[in-house]
Structure 1
Amino acid sequence: MKYAAIAGGVVVAVIGTLIGVAHFSTNPQKWVAKRYSTVGYHRYHSPKPPSLVAAEITRKFRPIDRLTDSAGTYLQYSKWVVGVLPSGAGSDITVDGPSDGYNRYASHVGGHWQRPGSSGWGRHGGASFRGGGSGSGK
């Protein structure tokens, strides 16, 4: 009986760890926060150039889409928008939810990305479920 309780506890601990690792590994905001210097709410800085920072992030998290223009690089994820912008010799990095990120960078991504739905973007960058409303689904 004692061994069964210990085995059960070990199984629960392992499952909890796997869930935690899976969540961390799919959340660019937490990874960016651990890797780069925090300068504000969901704002970070790196002494590395934007191209290198964007490459580091995309190696760890494959974006749905990536846009680069003269102002920066924008990475689209289902629940996040990561902006990597030049700042002196380094980079400023922002991590926003879909709507805030889209609105922040609309002048750069608006002609290419769809406006996100209520739950962000789907796997291919299309707006997710936008909600119902009167007469929805009829």
Structure 2
Amino acid sequence: MRTRYWVIGGVSAAVIAAIVLVAVLKDGGGSSPRSWISKKYSRVSSGVYRSPKPPRTVANEINKKHKAIDRVDDLATMGAAGGVYLRYPKLVVGVLPDGTGSRITVDDPSHGYNRYHSHVGGRWSSPGSNGWNGSGIATFRGGGPGSGK
């Protein structure tokens, strides 16, 4: 009787482990927003992708998969000159109108912040040398007077 319980337990554990393994492999194993975007959308050039869907839909898809630290959406106020901007610790993702679809840009924090400063500058702080932390605060940017002595 005890052997039967061990067999049932072992088979159950193997099935659960197989399900978890398949889910992790299918998901990309906790991939970064950059790699997920590169797999999900059509590549136009280095760091630029295209989707036939409107910007808010695309930004929602990305944010659902990889929760951003912050999001700025100025489409209502700026129209086609605006976009949806997602801030991650080590990335800035811009989702901009492009015809009937969207153009998606993926930048490191400094380049993305500089590129979209006119849209996010009043809301986001300038990133540190290593981007932002999980709370959106600039990471360490160096010491003050006397540092490095």
TM-score range, shorter chain: 0.7 to 0.9
Aligned with 1:108: secondary structure? helix
Aligned residue number for residue 53 of structure 1 = 58
Q: Deviations over 1:9-65 (max 9, x none)?
A: xxxxx9xx99x723x1xx111100000000011000000011110010000010000
Q: Structure 2 unaligned runs (5+)?
A: 1-20, 76-81
1:123, distance to aligned residue in structure 2 (A): 1.1
Q: Does 1:92 align with 2:103?
A: yes
Aligned residue number for residue 135 of structure 2 = 124
Separation in structure 2 between the aligned mates of residue 135 and residue 43 of structure 1, nearest angstrom: 42
Separation in structure 2 between the aligned mates of residue 52 and residue 68 of structure 1, nearest angstrom: 12
Aligned residue number for residue 40 of structure 1 = 45
Letter in 1 for 2:140: F
Aligned with 2:127: secondary structure? coil
Separation in structure 1 between the aligned mates of residue 132 and residue 90 of structure 2, nearest angstrom: 7
1:136, distance to aligned residue in structure 2 (A): 2.7
Aligned residues: 119
| Identity among equivalent pairs (%) | 59
Aligned residue number for residue 80 of structure 1 = 91
1:133, distance to aligned residue in structure 2 (A): 5.8
TM-score (norm 1): 0.80
Aligned with 2:105: secondary structure? strand
The Cα RMSD (Å) is 2.1
User: Which ranges of 4 or more aligned residues in structure 1 deviate by more than 3 Å?
Assistant: none
Aligned residue number for residue 9 of structure 2 = none
Q: Does 1:69 align with 2:74?
A: yes
Q: Structure 1 unaligned runs (5+)?
A: 1-13
Q: Does 1:30 align with 2:35?
A: yes
Aligned with 1:21: secondary structure? coil
Aligned residue number for residue 29 of structure 2 = 21
1:134, distance to aligned residue in structure 2 (A): 4.8
Aligned with 1:91: secondary structure? strand
1:124, distance to aligned residue in structure 2 (A): 1.0
Separation in structure 2 between the aligned mates of residue 118 and residue 99 of structure 1, nearest angstrom: 8
Assess, with a 3 A threshold, how the Cα gap between structure 1 residues 41 and 117 changes in structure 2: closer, same or farther.
Answer: same
